[in-house]
């Protein structure tokens, strides 16, 4: 499997609770190389665009509200099989279903406020990374 990249955000709940350091440590310890990193706050328009695939879902309004209420940590991560391995590391969308030791099991409060985002495909990883970072910000 070739080395590739995924995109993550540590969501506002994780930042508010002071979990940035612990989550980044876990990401590093799991073999991901951080190639881009910043603290940033999404506007309503940003969140609506980022989560456009969910715009018909009943939770969309709450999701946009949540994702814009404070800063997030955006990052691009590199590893062999990055997208799939990172989804495994974060665990199921609902922390109640997430495996022991996963980031969502450890740090998420609910299916809505679930601490961390992980891209679901190589294509979306590239789109989401480019949404937050210019080429000059990726190393
Ligand atoms: N979400 C929610 N309620 C749901 C499903 C999802 O509030 O019933 C939120 C949650 O923050 C989730 C995000 O919407 O992470 C995107 O949903 P998706 O199904 O893509 O989950 P993910 O890919 O983040 O695991
Ligand atoms: Mg998703």
Query: 82-90 vs 122-132: helix axis angle to the nearest 10?
Result: 80
The CATH number for 73's domain is 3.30.70.141
Ligand 2 centroid to residue 111 C-alpha, Å? 12
Instruction: Quote the pTM value.
Output: 0.97
Beta strands in 1-139, from DSSP E residues, in sequence order: 3-10, 33-40, 72-80, 116-118
**Main-chain dihedrals φ then ψ at residue 4, nearest 5 degrees:** -145, -170
The catalytic residues are 117
- What domain range includes position 121? 5-137
Kindly give the distance from the C-alpha atom of residue 45 to the centroid of ligand 2, in angstroms, as a whole number.
Answer: 18
CA-CA distance, 58 to 62, in Å (whole number)? 9
Report the Cα 12 to chain-centroid distance in Å.
11
Structure-block tokens of residue 21: 């350091």
Neighbours of ion ligand 2 (CB under 5 A): 120
Q: How many domains does the chain have?
A: 1
> Which tens digit of pLDDT belongs to each residue from 13-62?
999 999 999 999 999 999 999 999 999 999 999 999 999 999 999 999 99
Q: Over the chain, what is the mean pLDDT?
A: 97
């Amino acid at each position: 499997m070739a080395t590739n990249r995924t995109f993550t955000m540590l969501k506002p709940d994780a930042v508010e609770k002071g979990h940035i350091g612990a989550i980044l440590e876990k990401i590093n310890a799991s073999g991901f190389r951080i190639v881009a990193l910043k603290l940033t706050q999404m506007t309503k328009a940003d969140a609506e665009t980022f989560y456009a695939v969910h715009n018909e879902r009943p939770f969309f309004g709450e999701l946009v509200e949540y994702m814009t209420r404070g800063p997030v940590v955006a990052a691009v991560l590199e590893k062999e099989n990055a997208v799939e391995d990172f989804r495994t590391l974060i665990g199921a969308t609902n922390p109640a279903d997430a495996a022991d030791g996963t980031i969502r099991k450890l740090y998420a409060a609910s299916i809505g406020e679930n601490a961390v985002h992980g891209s679901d495909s190589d294509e979306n990883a590239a789109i989401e990374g480019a949404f937050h970072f210019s080429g000059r910000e990726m190393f």
